[in-house]
Amino acid sequence: MDSGKEALLGMTQTELKALATELGMPSFTASQLAQWLYARHAQSIGEMTNLSKANRQRLADRCCVGAMPPLDRLESADGTVKYLFPTQSGKYVETVFIPDGERATLCVSSQVGCKMNCLFCQTGKQGFEGQLTVTDILNQIYALPESDRLTNIVFMGQGEPMDNLDNVLQATQVLTAQWGYGWSPKRITVSSVGIRNKLKRFLDESECHVAISMHSPFHEQRMQFMPAERQMAIADVVELLRQYDFTHQRRCSFEYICFGGLNDSLVYAREIVRLTKGLECRVNLIRFHAIPDADLPASDEKRMENMRDYLTNHGVFTTIRASRGQDILAACGLLSTKRKNEKGL
């Protein structure tokens, strides 16, 4: 990315119009710029040939597209690909491309590191290093070699999306606006541990799916796993979700990592049923895979199947998520931590 220049990638049509006006260009230039960015994925201002040469030069003196290619790529035997992207601040962030038949999902990051410090998460062990800009968030899609194959995007990579809410909302606006990527918001899922006030704002201002990291339905234990429980208990999260309609296309789900003998018995399944009663939702059970400095046991297949069957039989649609990319440092934070350590940062 050109040092000191303003990135066009991530700007809304309103921002593009203000920029065009400031540079003395016609207001319709904003629509042309949006087309070049979000429909044609231009890599340089020089490609924008329906702008006059003088206007291209004026724009290039002030701005750049802002796209930055990945620095590293690891491909799993199962086809999952993890990319390491640079950020505008000179740090690193991870993105995972997950092909599955006709479906292709991209798991994007929203922060460098994370403040939440969940016990089982490698990103949390990095500490918080900064917010991703809208450009940084969208660059994970824009500069992805497989971008034209994408069918879904999940904000489940590094960071807590609600802790960078303004930039996440603007990124999803670009993705769903007709002048932007034109995606249905139902192709996008945004995760959260549950941040008071921020989660409500997201639910009010976005139509994207929401996925809540639960991992335990019990307050005391969830607090041990996830310090964020102190600020917004899972019971309060569910109570807030009850105020919204998930009976049509918009979906609410709970992510639940199963730890062997800790949270994977029917005692937990019964409490999940009680907690979510009357809320249209689904539960995704996830196998725990070891990360450094986290002495937590993995659940076994039978216990997870018993939980799934109990929940489904009691009206909570539940799946066991297939593990992907375990041979390529798949857990969020492992690849960027490796690069950071290599650079001595």
Residue numbers annotated as active site: 94, 332
Q: What is the CA radius of gyration of the chain?
A: 21
Say if residues 119 and 262 touch (Cβ distance below 8 Å). no
Residue 192 CA to residue 212 CA, distance in Å, equals 5
DSSP 3-state assignment of 255?
strand
Please say whether the beta carbons of 288 and 249 come within 8 A. no
Specify the amino acid at residue 18.
A
d(CA 104, CA 36): 24
Three-class SS state of 18:
helix
CA distances from 206 to 192, 200, 213, 249, 333 (A): 14, 10, 19, 13, 27
For residues 329 and 335, the answer to whether their CB atoms sit within 8 Å is: yes
Question: Phi, psi at residue 190, to the nearest 5°?
Answer: -115, 125
Query: Which amino acid is residue 79, in one-letter code?
Result: G
CA-angle at 108, arms to 82 and 170, nearest 5°:
155
Q: Whole-angstrom Cα distance, residue 95 to residue 156?
A: 9
How many angstroms separate the CA atoms of 144 and 59, rounded? 25
212 in Cβ contact with 194 (< 8 Å) = yes
